[in-house]
Chains A and B, each alone.
Chain A
């Protein structure tokens, strides 16, 4: 089954404790992206990657890191989480960044709470 998986689905942590949210897709997609969803702000792009070892900042990259060492995986790293990073996070992938293949497949989401 074609899918994007994220782990963990729920996480409660404390300020400053490094964490990683994993994302994996099995569709051989080139383009992967991380978003956060906050009330009244919709989905905001954190980072995106157009291929292995190619990553770039989205609209809200501060406090986050990513890596793309393999095509299927795109982990999101919070080196020193803060309460303002409490949010619902989505990973997404698409065959290509643009045109008719721009349709993104989203993971189920990770609910992160930073105390």
Chain B
């Protein structure tokens, strides 16, 4: 049973426009959420995170929004740049079991 889902396997966006990547989860015990970016032939790298007690966290061009009632989080990238082309994973942390669950990933392509 996939507790963290990224329903869009891929996304294409024009350079300069907004990229919105979505993530849904089912476990209400998740208390911390993270986004990672992964380039080919490299390990994932941390991008941005949000605690379950917040609904928004911003870091430069990246903003993560959390809607706990809908069990949904999204990552906004504004403006999108070609270097943002990568696979993005959302991840959720269950503090009770000390476990991290990752989504299936969304491949973002930013077209120059």
Segment of B11-19, B67-75, B94-102 in the binding face = B94-102
**CB-based contact B46/A99 at 8 Å:** no
Chain A contact residue count (CB 8 A cutoff): 29
Contact A42 B103 (CB under 8 A): yes
Q: Which has the most chain A C-beta neighbours within 10 Å: B36, B41, B100?
A: B100
Say whether B43 faces chain A, with CB atoms less than 8 Å apart: yes
Question: CB of B42 within 8 A of chain A?
Answer: yes
Residue pair A90, B103 in contact (C-beta under 8 Å): no
- How far apart are the CA atoms of A105 and B6 in the complex, in Å? 22
Does any Cβ of A come within 8 Å of B25's Cβ? no
| B88 nearest CB across to chain A (Å) | 11
Q: How far is the CA of A16 from the CA of B103 in the complex (A)?
A: 31
Contact of A108 among B43, B46, B89 (CB under 8 A): B43
Instruction: Evaluate whether A98 and B89 lie within 8 angstroms (CB atoms) in the complex, with A45-B100, A106-B44 already known.
Output: no
A44 to B31, CA, bound (A): 19
Tell whether, in the assembled complex, residue A106 and residue B43 are in contact, meaning their CB atoms are under 8 Å apart: yes
Q: List residues of chain B with CB under 8 Å of any chain A CB.
A: 6, 9, 31-32, 34, 36, 41-46, 49, 51, 89, 91, 93, 95, 98-105
Q: A59-B99, A98-B93, A102-B49 are in contact. List 11 more A-B contacts (CB 8 A).
A: A31-B98, A35-B102, A43-B44, A43-B89, A43-B91, A45-B102, A97-B95, A97-B98, A98-B95, A104-B46, A106-B45
Closest 9 CB pairs of A and B: A106-B43, A42-B104, A43-B102, A103-B46, A97-B98, A98-B95, A106-B44, A42-B102, A42-B105
